[in-house]
Amino acid sequence: MITVSRAARVSYASLRATANLGTNGTAMRTLRLAYRDDDRTPVIFCIKEMARRHYDIDVEVVQIQGTEEYEAALFDGSCDVIIEHLEYLYDEAGKGKKVAIFCAPSKGSSQELVVRAHIHAPEELKGGTLAVRSSGQPHAAVLWLRMMGLEKTVQTILVKDSEVGRWGQWKKVVSGECIGTFMSPLYLKPALSAGLKVLDVPDLPSVGQYAQACRSEFAAKNSQLLKDYLKATIHAVCLMIFRRDEALAIVSTEPMKRMKIESREGMERQFDAIAKGLKPKPYPTPQAIVNTYDMAVLDYPDAKDMNPLSLWDLHWVRQLDDEGFLDGLIDNLAKP
């Protein structure tokens, strides 16, 4: 694992020049994958392992924690591909940067609405206030309220992690200040232990986490590498969905350490929360593209006149689908 900051950027030239040998005896190709949040590491390390085992690709996992540094990474040579937080790319594209979003393995936003125990239906939120995490995708709550017809009757307040702890916005609900909050399923346990509950509501269609992007120039020069890397990504997602024990053996090593999870039981709980939000065919739905674009525009108003499809390049997914790779892999891994 390589952690990178702007102050101390690692040079990768020597690493790329000394690749390991692949399964066919030739030098393994290298691809640098950047991420910010350690919660993504179960998927990332499954991708890394499938790429190594089956597709002769050495995926160098690069963590870039600062938002400014992360957003610069595709363009300053720190990485080849990014796997989360893509909304800013609409703003970059509006400034003339050429990028390609090439897969979307998530079903949706995958967040849970946590409310007080006496709330039984979304309409009972009327007149209340939702606590919204200020980082991540805060505007998803606004779009969900709009989708449910509650935008004018439910207020929102932004609550920073620095005020309540990581994903601790539920504390505002326990205190009575708010009526509910959206939470990552990875952080539900303390909220439920405090007497709150998950309200069953429709998920907001969105591209979600694990969508990936690269520069158009990199894609043009490395088309076969990206196609094979996408095979590894799909293979990893299918492994997590259909071969739980095999995938757990991977995520119970470095990802478990990175996520600071101390027990196998805790890792399994986190793994299951991630896996249930994945889909084996990484096409985004039209509504997911629209909602993700709408969230981007709320943060980056200059992107409002852009066609939201202009950043997407799904031809590798389509090729693999047409070639039977997707169905063949799913059928193989889904066998008992």
Distance CA 201, CA 206 (A): 15
Q: Write down the CATH number for the domain with range 2-107+207-334.
A: 3.40.190.10
Per-domain residue ranges of the chain: 2-107+207-334, 112-199
Distance of CA 320 to the CA centre of its chain: 22
Residue 9, classified by CB atoms within 10 Å of its CB into exposed (0-12), middle (13-18) or buried (19+), is middle
pLDDT values of the chain reduced to their tens digit, one per residue, 336 residues: 445 555 444 444 333 433 466 666 678 999 999 999 999 999 999 999 999 999 999 999 999 998 999 999 999 999 999 999 999 999 999 889 999 999 999 998 778 999 999 999 999 999 999 999 998 788 889 899 999 999 999 999 999 999 999 999 999 999 999 999 999 888 999 999 999 999 999 888 999 889 999 999 999 999 999 999 999 999 999 999 999 999 999 999 999 999 999 999 999 999 999 999 999 999 999 999 999 999 899 888 888 888 999 999 999 999 999 999 999 999 999 988
Single-letter code of the amino acid located at 226:
L
CB 78 within 8 A of CB 62: yes
- Looking at the chain, the whole-number percentage of residues with pLDDT higher than 90 is 80
- Six-digit token string for 78: 């720190």
Which of 309, 312, 313, 319 is closest to 231 using CA atoms?
319
Range 189-223 burial, b when 16+ CB lie within 10 A, else e? eebeeeebbebebebbbbbbbbbbbbbeebbeebe
Which CATH class for the 112-199 domain? alpha beta
Distance CA 88, CA 93 (A): 9
State how far the alpha carbon of 187 is from the alpha carbons of 167, 231, 270, 278, in Å: 7, 30, 9, 18
Distance CA 142, CA 180 (A): 13
Grouping H, G, I as helix, E, B as strand and the rest as coil, residue 261 is coil
E-strand ranges in 64-192 read 81-82, 99-103, 112-115, 129-133, 155-159, 180-183
Grouping H, G, I as helix, E, B as strand and the rest as coil, residue 159 is strand
Single-letter code of the amino acid located at 311:
L
What tens digit of pLDDT does each residue of 25-67 get?
A: 678 999 999 999 999 999 999 999 999 999 999 999 999 998 9
Grouping H, G, I as helix, E, B as strand and the rest as coil, residue 255 is helix
- Record the pTM: 0.88
Distance CA 299, CA 286 (A): 21
